[in-house]
Amino acid sequence: MSTPPMAPAPLVSLRANAARRWFLDQQTWIRVTTEQSGGSVAVVEHLISAAAESPWHIHHVQDESIYVLEGHITMLVGDGHWTLGPGDYAFGPRQVPHGLRVEGEQAARVLVICTPGAGYDRLVQEAGEPATAPGFPPSPPTDMARLARLAAAAGLEILDPSPEHQG
In this predicted structure, what is the pLDDT of residue 138?
Answer: 78
Task: Name residues whose C-beta falls within 8 Å of residue 152's C-beta, 6 or more positions apart in sequence.
Answer: none
Each of the 167 residues of the chain gets a pLDDT tens digit; together they read: 665 566 777 888 887 888 789 998 899 999 999 999 999 999 999 999 998 999 999 999 999 999 999 999 999 999 999 999 999 999 999 999 999 999 999 999 999 999 998 889 999 999 999 998 888 887 777 788 899 999 999 999 999 665 554 44
- Domain range summary for the chain, segments of one domain joined by +: 17-132+140-161
> Residue 18: what pLDDT?
83
pLDDT number for residue 17: 83
- State if pTM tops 0.85: yes
| pLDDT computed for residue 167 by the predictor | 41
Q: CA-to-CA distance for 97 and 125, rounded, in angstroms?
A: 22
CATH, range 17-132+140-161: 2.60.120.10
Which helix H or strand E contains 26, and what residues bound it?
A: strand 26-32
